[in-house]
Amino acid sequence: MTEIKNNARILAIWLFFCAFMVMAMTGIGAVTRLTESGLSIARWDVISGTLPPLTEEDWQQQFDIYKQTPQYQQINKGMSVEEFKGIFFWEWFHRVWGRLIGIVFAVPMIFFFVKGYIPRDDRLKYLGLLALGGAQGALGWFMVKSGLVDRPSVSHFRLAAHLSLALTIYSALLWMGLKNLQLQKISVPASLKFHGGVALTLVAITIVWGAFVAGLDAGMIYNTFPLMGNGIAPPELGQTPFLYDPASIQFTHRLLAMLTGLVVFSYGLRWTEFHKKIGWALATWVLVQIGLGIATLLTVVDIHTATTHQIGAVILLSCVVFSLYISGDSKR
């Protein structure tokens, strides 16, 4: 029995570390998008692409490939090789970090399979996670390709899909790690668990909608709060296709953030009756996250602030996921 618990604890540590790497990846991805570096590498070389260019000849070859892209021709024409190296780094680092996540997950998983640490009933779940990781890499390249044809930026729909899958993988890693810890559940009423489900749904939608904001550079306009121009809503609202209008996308993100904040804050307050630390963590962090969102807007998407906002969103998601995992059926 002790050996089984020790094995489960080892699995939990490994899963939490993988989850942390995915969280870090969302931050790296945010910097890659904010620095407009995502289209700097116009090829997908799974093996050879692991190493960056090592000679000036290699750099020039990569730069010549980049010169054929719409981003260079429409936005960065005249960029020097040294400037190119700056944007190349973040996309390269983003891809290498993704490969590292795959290795850190796959290699120990094989070892744990062989050693029998992973229960038979759970093996398909771990293999499913590995498959999702591979799908995420393919989806990332599918996203990049959308900016290599005739437009100088990636599709915001594909960007949102890429982030959605990352959040799914992260949440699954976190949930499975918690499962291995075998924590004692806290009895709560069914209404609170339902409240948590609504909170989780809204947090996820708001984060994914943030990808629309990033993909359309919607944070670069209306950098005031709470007004957008002379009113709460932008004057462009309803004048152009909704999902392609930066002002409408930003306005919707604001509304979602406020609604999510209200739902999560009230959810946290209800939790204080059953576990004060969980309750106040939820209530406090959602306010911090809203503050980071407003700061990102007022600073016209300062890279450091915006990246912190992105990671803060994943932390908020973690708080809600944990609260749902720890929720047991009420005995009242």
Whether the Cβ atoms of residue 25 and residue 101 lie closer than 8 Å to each other: yes
Gap between the Cα atoms of 52 and 50, Å rounded: 7
Q: What is the pLDDT of residue 4?
A: 64
Backbone angles phi, psi at 166, to 5 degrees: -60, -45
Gap between the Cα atoms of 88 and 69, Å rounded: 14
Tokens at 215, concatenated:
């993909």
Q: What is the pLDDT of residue 231?
A: 92
Q: Which of 329, 8, 298, 292 is nearest to 186 (CA)?
A: 329
Q: What is the pLDDT of residue 2?
A: 67
Cα four-point dihedral sign 233, 234, 239, 243: negative
Q: What is the pLDDT of residue 3?
A: 64
Q: In the chain, helix, strand, coil percent, each to 5? A: 75, 0, 25
What residue spans define the domains of the chain? 1-182, 185-332
Kindly report, residue by residue over 305-329, the tens digit of the pLDDT. Answer: 999 999 999 999 999 999 999 998 7
Which segments of the chain are extended strands (E)? Answer: 186-188, 327-329
Kindly state the helix (H) or strand (E) to which residue 148 belongs, with its residue range. Answer: none
Q: What is the pLDDT of residue 238?
A: 78
Q: Could you tell me which residues come within 8 angstroms of residue 186 by beta carbon, excluding any fewer than 6 positions away?
A: 274, 275, 278, 326, 327, 328
Gap between the Cα atoms of 289 and 258, Å rounded: 11
List alpha helices for 35-147, DSSP H: 56-66, 70-74, 81-115, 123-145
Q: What is the pLDDT of residue 182?
A: 86
Per-residue pLDDT tens digits of the chain, which is 332 residues long: 566 678 899 999 999 999 999 999 999 999 999 999 999 998 888 776 788 999 999 999 999 999 999 999 999 999 999 999 999 999 999 999 999 999 999 999 999 999 999 998 999 999 999 999 999 999 999 999 999 988 889 999 999 999 999 999 999 999 999 999 989 999 999 999 999 999 999 999 999 999 999 999 999 999 999 999 889 999 888 788 899 999 999 999 999 999 999 999 999 999 999 999 999 999 999 999 999 999 999 999 999 999 999 999 999 999 999 999 999 877 55
Q: What is the pLDDT of residue 177?
A: 97
